[in-house]
Amino acid sequence: MTSLADTLLSRPLLFRPDLAITDTDVDALAERLALAMKLSDFERIGSPASFLYRASTVTVGDLVASTGFHSPMRVVTEETPRATVILAQGGDTTFSYEGGSLRFGAVHDLAYLPGCAFVEHSSWISGVLFSVDVDRLIRTAATMAGLHGSTYRLRQRLQRPQLLRPNPGSSDMEVVKQLHALFSMLDAPSLEQERLLDLLGLDDLLYRAIAMAFCGDLIRSSPANEPGTRGLKSAVLEDLLAWIGANLDRPLRLSDLEQRSSYSQRTLRKAFQERCGCGPHEWIHRQRMQAARNQLLQAQPGDSVTSIAQRWGYTHLSQFSRDFQRTFGISPSRVLREARRKLL
């Protein structure tokens, strides 16, 4: 008969198995977890020989994501300023908190615990756990909703525990699927090593998916997201384009543009398509590449491809060279050589 530990070990981790840590000593695990969360009590359920915990953890911006599983245990936590979001891949777990409880574990179940103290009692659980900043999650939901002032309804929603159990074919299920799709980016070590996860704004995408999962009805019903909403005023768009041009040397996320303009994602995309012929991310990429090309053509003594790439937000020359070659059909080093040859 196959043991629970053997069954769990056969389950693949959703990202970065090369970083996985396996624990069979509950006391050692409790000490390690206490470094990341406030624990009041932590104990296994069952015999010591059957205890198993395995997980890998990745940090993206201020968001921490862990994927893994553990055998039966009981965990008691204290209140914390950060929220916990858990996407289940299987199992049976109950979270009890003041005023209620959540029982979940079915594949695609998504639970939200807003930093409240809770007691976890699980037979076993497999999935992904996110530690998120509650205020940032509220701001993200507000910018997606195009809210210019009060965030009262969003804050009220995100101050209480929630369980999302999406129905097949529903918009909620599509949001959960998109969350899954983002895991493939977490599973790419080269993206992390070259700081591309930050440049791509992966943490922002994860915050947006989580915000849509738990506040989707409020975001969709916002007047700013209703069909027929008046497009972005020309003066506001021109100001936004000028601001982007002055900040091309740092990562720019869609939520940055929403906050700067106070308009929703849908309105921004429409305005950029009408004005620039592409979406905001593509336009930013084009402007960044053009700025780098201009500096290569007007290079000063001491300038190099690496220094110019770093000036425009690239930390690794290989990624810059690939993007440049793809955009202009010529390598940046060749552009620099030809520009210097003309000065001789």
Amino acid in position 260: R
**Percent of the chain predicted with pLDDT > 70:** 90
Give me the percent of the chain exceeding a pLDDT of 90.
31
Structure-model confidence comparison of residues 174 and 198, the more confident one: 174
- Does the pTM surpass 0.85? The reply is no
Residue 51 has pLDDT above 80, yes or no: yes
| Mean of all residue pLDDT scores within the chain | 85
Q: Provide the pLDDT for residue 4.
A: 66
Confidence of residue 341 (pLDDT cuts 50, 70, 90): confident
- Mapping DSSP onto H, E and C, the string for 259-325 reads HHHCCCHHHHHHHHHHHHCCCHHHHHHHHHHHHHHHHHHCCCCCCCHHHHHHHCCCCCHHHHHHHHH
Whole-number pLDDT of residue 126: 92
pLDDT of residue 317: 85
| pLDDT one-digit tens code per residue, 125-162 | 999 999 999 999 998 888 888 765 567 888 889 999 99
Q: Provide the pLDDT for residue 343.
A: 64
pLDDT in tens, 195-231: 667 767 888 889 999 999 999 988 887 765 555 444 4
Q: Give the model's pLDDT for residue 48.
A: 78
If you average pLDDT over each of 113-117, 142-146, 310-314, which comes out highest?
A: 113-117
Q: Is the pLDDT of residue 100 over 90?
A: yes
